[in-house]
Amino acid sequence: MQTFRLSENCSLHIHPTEKFKDVTMNLDFFLPLESTMRPAHFLLSFLLAEVCDTSRTKLETQKRLDDLYGASLSVTSDPRGNLDLLEFSCSTADSHYVSDSLLYRQMEVLRDYACCPYLENGLFESHLFEECVQKAITAVRMTLDDPSAAAVEEASLRYGGAMKKRCLPSESELCCVTNEACTAAWKELIDQAEIHLFVLGNVDADECLEAARSLFSFSDRNTMVSLQADPETRPYSETILKKPISQSFLVQLYEDGLRYQDPLMPAFMLGNGILGALPTSLLFQEVREARSLCYSIGSENLIYDGMLRITAGMNRRDLLEAGTLIAQQISRMQKGEFSDDQLETARSMYINSWRGSMDHGPSLIWDDCRSVLLHTEDSIPRMIHRFETVTREDIMNAYAGLKLAEVLILEEDADDPS
């Protein structure tokens, strides 16, 4: 990856590769994570994807993308760890496969939709604003209609910290966001956010740099962001909520205290494969297959939070027994009571998964982004090498400090006929 400074805390990063037949550009705006700004940033991901000052209707936007050989454009609000991210992504055909030079026009799309929105009297066009508020509310409803997702959100809200700040905004919060607040949030992104432009594909670095310096004139800014959330330590808390659903959902949040760059992180990640992330895992085999105590179960390593999350769907009557059995599997991880086959299966699957991500454009760009944010060269090949050297003792040490901090049970209503 080649990096060029555009202004203070605004950079261009070029990852030249001939692996893909398209070129992807991501324009990323980073700010420190603040829960008060989450609703406005979430709305911006809808407002800024529709139109811009030079393409004021959806039809004009679509025609512009079609003229770029069917380019795609997306805008996402995707907070991670301890930072808020608004990302503009545009992909189109590699110019080597068409009789046209597309790089400048592709980058211009990012510039126009991120930096030149369609405003009337200094605010977003009123009909567009109201439409996007309703779209945002619908998106939240659709996500939380899934009881499993709703349980995870509730657990994160109750745990607090960065996990709470990353939760979806509520309908009432979205309804309270004004046009003025959204416009101010956009201006803050342009004027204060740490900005990184990533280009992935078979491109010429000099042409990219010339286009970026021609199209973008971001002022210097002193905003500095941190991807890694500080590991939390909170007293144990348990909450039971009832809802008219067909099965109960259990969410457990464990504090592990590890940062992404901790030497034990590769061992913790492999251990998660042994514990609950793979079909061969202890949780799946012991809790679901052997004893039929749940319909679904799995674990997830929240690597930028110093947390591990276990989720399971089951009948209400099995909650207590399943909770006891889950605790036993955690104890097995801490004592190293898993087979060599389980370790080698996890190692093989994780190595193959990370190796496969080297052929996946979004994964490559995120790896570049992570390296920039963490000021490290911990690339995909390096992580693969670290997986290769993980031992049973490493996993035991990684799991030694695991502590259950939050339990959320979303219980099926006793009166529900299903």
- Per-residue pLDDT for 20 more than 60? yes
Contact indicator for 399, 271 with CB cutoff of 8 Å:
yes
Model pLDDT for residues 282-319, shown as the tens digit of each residue: 999 999 999 999 999 999 999 999 999 999 999 999 99
Among the residue ranges 110-119, 173-182, 266-275, 369-378, the one predicted with the least confidence is 369-378
pLDDT single digits (tens) 81-106: 999 999 999 999 998 888 788 999 99
Q: Three-state DSSP class for 109?
A: helix
Report residue 418's pLDDT band, with 50, 70 and 90 as the boundaries.
Answer: very low
pLDDT band, very low/low/confident/very high, at 182 (cuts 50, 70, 90): very high
Q: What is the pLDDT of residues 253-285, one digit of tens each?
A: 999 989 998 999 999 999 999 999 999 999 999
* Phi then psi dihedrals of residue 227, to 5 deg: -70, -40
For the residues 184-207, what does the mean pLDDT come to?
A: 95
Task: DSSP for 68-103, please give it.
Answer: TTS-EEEEEE--BTTEEEEEEEEEEE-GGGTTS--H
Confidence (pLDDT) at 415: 59
Joined tokens for residue 102 = 């597309």
pLDDT of residue 414: 61
Mean pLDDT of the chain: 93
Which residues does residue 296 pair with via DSSP β-bridges, in sequence order?
A: 313
Q: What is the set of domains in the chain, with CATH numbers?
A: 2-215 (3.30.830.10), 237-412 (3.30.830.10)
Query: Does the structure show a pLDDT above 60 at 130?
Result: yes
pLDDT (0 to 100) of residue 232:
78
The mean per-residue pLDDT over the stretch 368-378 comes to 87
Inter-residue contact 300 to 277 (CB < 8 Å):
yes
Reported confidence tier of residue 417, pLDDT bands at 50, 70, 90: very low
Q: Does the pLDDT value for residue 377 go beyond 90? A: no
DSSP-derived pairing of the beta strands 83-93 and 22-32: antiparallel
How many helices (H) and strands (E) would you count in the chain? 16, 13
State both tokens at 317. Answer: 């009557």
Residue 100: the pLDDT is: 82
Q: What is the pTM of this model?
A: 0.92
Determine whether 286 is exposed, middle or buried from the number of CB atoms within 10 Å of its CB (0-12, 13-18, 19+).
middle
Q: What is the pLDDT of residues 36-77, one digit of tens each?
A: 889 999 999 999 998 999 999 999 999 999 999 999 999 999
